[in-house]
Amino acid sequence: MRKLLLLAVLAVGIYSCRKVEPPKPYGPLPSEQQVKYQEMEFNAFVHFNMNTFTNMEWGSGAEDPDTFNPTDLDCDQWARVCKDAGMKGIILTAKHHDGFCLWPTKTTKHSVKYSKWKDGKGDVVKELSDACRKYGLKFGIYLSPWDRNNAKYGTPEYNTEVFREQLRELLTNYGEIFEIWFDGANGGTGYYGGANEKRQVDRKTYYNWPEVYKIVRKLQPNAVLFSDAGPEVRWVGNEKGYANKTNWCLLRRDEFYPGSPNYKQLTSGHEDGTHWVPAEVDVSTRPGWYYHKSEDHQVKTLPQLLDIYYHSVGRNANLLLNIPPEPSGHFNENDVKALMALSKQLKEDFKTDLAKGSKISASVVRGRDYGAKNLIDGNKDTYWATPDTVTSGSIVLEFNKPTFVNRFLVQEYIPLGQRVKEFTVEAMVDGKWQTVAKETTIGYKRILRFEPVEAEKIRFTVMKSKACPVISNLELYHAPAVLIEPAVSRNKKGVVFIRSFGKTSEVYFTADGSDPVKEGKLYSGPFVLKDKGVVKAVIKDKTTGKFSPVASVDFDVCKEKWQVRKGGEKGNKAIDGNPGTSYLVTGNKLPVDIIVDLGEELNIKGFTYLPVQGRWAKGVAKDYEFYVSRNGRIWGKPNVKGEFANIKNNPVLQTVEFEPVKGRYIKLKAVSTVDDKPVLGVAELGVITE
Ligand code: FUL
């Protein structure tokens, strides 16, 4: 009897120690390269090529190779900055649509070899790939299939003798390549060896993509291939910097090809996708992909860059952030500052993982090797999983005292597939559960931002999953508020708006020029300021008590009574206090002017002019005359005239002062415009009064 008992105990013991099988893979799976690629998360794109020197976005292909002439190429600086910014790799535009090759290719004369730069001995691909290796970064290549220079473009020979050969050269001579980037823009007008015509190709079949892929597989088996259609990494379907919240790594891949029209589906992927093709978010620090001096003041702000990060890396996509070097061959200091500010803030955001010190438990586990502790052990290869038949379950993290949390980071163990379809995050505050977020997909990584909650516990629940959830990592943070100057604006009616960034903060302001840190009132919404005045504002982090730098804006008289002559509603856009809207006055020939009735007589001693701020700015005035009149009929001589110096390169607010004069009507006359067209574009016109 005792023997039997012993045997039974032993059997139970053996049974409970028995290794529970790991979950079976579910659905399409990533390759090893794809997992490695997804783990890189944040990479740099560098658009540097002929367009940098012609100030273009798309060159025609007719450019003289001598035009490419960086005075002081410094690929080391690019790599150093990218490394410091926390990026893991750099992708270079080795050839853009204009066909100019940054390496001494044998396939064409349209390359660095035929330019006077370094007497034809230069090789940007080599310099950057070396710099990447030096700084421990991976290196990738953008090779435009479309070639507006090449005479053979459109024929089969272009593919066999030019495009594929170029690919072979790039994949053979520059060490390990982690990603090859094929753009979807294909065919159209171009130089084409002097033909200067339009050449259309069948985007789906012309390049014979399977042949192209074979070359990559053979020469760089570890590289991933990017295009609208993958096959390994897909475009996210926009160049604005976001993936959708619901974002599958899966795609019905055969429905796509580079340049295919159904690209909007790429922003979410397909729940029922047939292949693993994760999304990559490509976006530039500036409006353009290439460097234009006129965009130096339009480098994305820290809040914009943070949104991009959280909407890409935080939504199961890699971020490929473009930094366009100047013609000198350096990154511009504004881009460098922006990148450094971003990496500093990200380090702050993810400084202390609050999940690590918590008591963690699961509502259900698959077996003891798959427990909740695996979520916070810092090991990406261990995971929490439920039994095969259970497709939901909760994790509770308990703090030893109420703790502020405003970031939630979670990762699925993607080698076994993407499974989760719906999840929630709740916080226990004063003994009650509150819902913090109700979301859909997770994938490789999902990061949620929310209002800080002072929580006793956090509960993460997988509500729906295609198969048992397999979650490898969970992190919690309390990110500080973004402490940059708030944005202060006033509309035509005199209503002042102050915009802060993130709700973690409060705004304090004064409207009498005094210090908002000491004297400020809490901003609870827009307020009216019809008179002249200085508004100062500051952001305060509610939880740390820290202040941002102070924003200080000088407002002149309110524009409520102003009217643009013959402008109607559209004319208001030139005087609405919003730099993002503008009014275009079109004439038959230059000069072109805009007349504003100020509605009352004022003592005027100057004016301000903000040209159109969009990417393709129109109507930027160069030489000007400015008039003040008492009756709007007799204008006399200009009160001031001159040139808005450097406005083409730097289209920022222009301020001009003159001898004070009384008047009710003002006229800004564009004697010339930067593109010589008879169009005057005004984002905002203002006066300076005594
Ligand atoms: C686009 C291209 O046409 C742009 O010039 C740029 O290279 C961007 C990354 O892809 O589709």
Distance (Å, whole) CA 553 – CA 314: 34
**Which atom, in ligand 1's list, is nearest to the CA of 284?**
9
Query: Band of the pLDDT at 481, cuts 50, 70, 90?
Result: confident
The per-residue pLDDT for 9 is: 47
Using a 6 Å cutoff on CB, does residue 289 contact ligand 1? Answer: yes
The per-residue pLDDT for 5 is: 53
The per-residue pLDDT for 482 is: 87
Rounded mean pLDDT, 366-376: 97
Distance (Å, whole) CA 399 – CA 376: 14
Query: 629 CA distance to ligand 1 centroid (A)?
Result: 49
92, 124 Cβ separation under 8 angstroms? yes
Residues 157-171: pLDDT tens digits? 999 999 999 999 999
**Which atom, in ligand 1's list, is nearest to the CA of 322?**
9
Helix 302-312 and helix 333-349: axis angle, to 10°? 60
Residues 345-356: pLDDT tens digits? 999 999 999 999
Rounded mean pLDDT, 482-510: 89
289, 290, 292, 323: which to mutate for ligand 1, most atoms within 8 A of CB?
A: 289
Query: Band of the pLDDT at 614, cuts 50, 70, 90?
Result: confident
183, 234, 280, 615: which to mutate for ligand 1, most atoms within 8 A of CB?
A: 183
What is the strand order of the sheet 487-490 is part of?
487-490, 495-499, 527-528
Using a 6 Å cutoff on CB, does residue 282 contact ligand 1? Answer: yes
Rounded mean pLDDT, 277-290: 96
CA 316 to centroid of chain Cα atoms: 15
Using a 6 Å cutoff on CB, does residue 185 contact ligand 1? Answer: yes
**Which atom, in ligand 1's list, is nearest to the CA of 289?**
6
The per-residue pLDDT for 3 is: 56
Q: Which residue, by CA, sits nearest to atom 3 of ligand 1?
A: 185
Using a 6 Å cutoff on CB, does residue 183 contact ligand 1? Answer: yes
Would you give the DSSP letter of residue 324? P
Sorted by where each starts, the structural domains of the chain and their CATH numbers stand as 33-346 (3.20.20.80), 354-477 (2.60.120.260), 487-555 (2.60.40), 563-689 (2.60.120.260)
CA 432 to centroid of chain Cα atoms: 38
Using the predicted structure, report yes or no on whether residue 99 has a pLDDT greater than 80: yes
**Which atom, in ligand 1's list, is nearest to the CA of 57?**
5
Residues 554-583: pLDDT tens digits? 999 999 999 999 999 999 999 999 999 999
In SS3 terms, 568-602 reads as HHHHHHHCCCCCCCCEEEECCCCCEEEEEEEEEEE
**Which atom, in ligand 1's list, is nearest to the CA of 93?**
7
Using the predicted structure, report yes or no on whether residue 413 has a pLDDT greater than 80: yes
Using a 6 Å cutoff on CB, does residue 35 contact ligand 1? Answer: no
Query: 183 CA distance to ligand 1 centroid (A)?
Result: 7
Query: 279 CA distance to ligand 1 centroid (A)?
Result: 16
In SS3 terms, 64-88 reads as CHHHCCCCCCCHHHHHHHHHHCCCC
* Number of neighbouring beta carbons within 10 Å of residue 519: 13
**Which atom, in ligand 1's list, is nearest to the CA of 181?**
9
Distance (Å, whole) CA 83 – CA 572: 46
Supply the mean pLDDT for the chain.
Answer: 94
Rounded mean pLDDT, 527-539: 95
Using the predicted structure, report yes or no on whether residue 274 has a pLDDT greater than 50: yes
Using the predicted structure, report yes or no on whether residue 1 has a pLDDT greater than 90: no
Query: 238 CA distance to ligand 1 centroid (A)?
Result: 11
Distance (Å, whole) CA 184 – CA 260: 8
Q: Nearest 10 degrees: CA dihedral of 337, 342, 348, 350?
A: -150
Using the predicted structure, report yes or no on whether residue 504 has a pLDDT greater than 80: no
Rounded mean pLDDT, 94-107: 98
Query: 163 CA distance to ligand 1 centroid (A)?
Result: 18
Query: 72 CA distance to ligand 1 centroid (A)?
Result: 25
Using a 6 Å cutoff on CB, does residue 290 contact ligand 1? Answer: no
The per-residue pLDDT for 14 is: 45
Residues 5-42: pLDDT tens digits? 555 544 444 444 468 999 999 999 999 999 999 999 99
**Which atom, in ligand 1's list, is nearest to the CA of 142?**
7
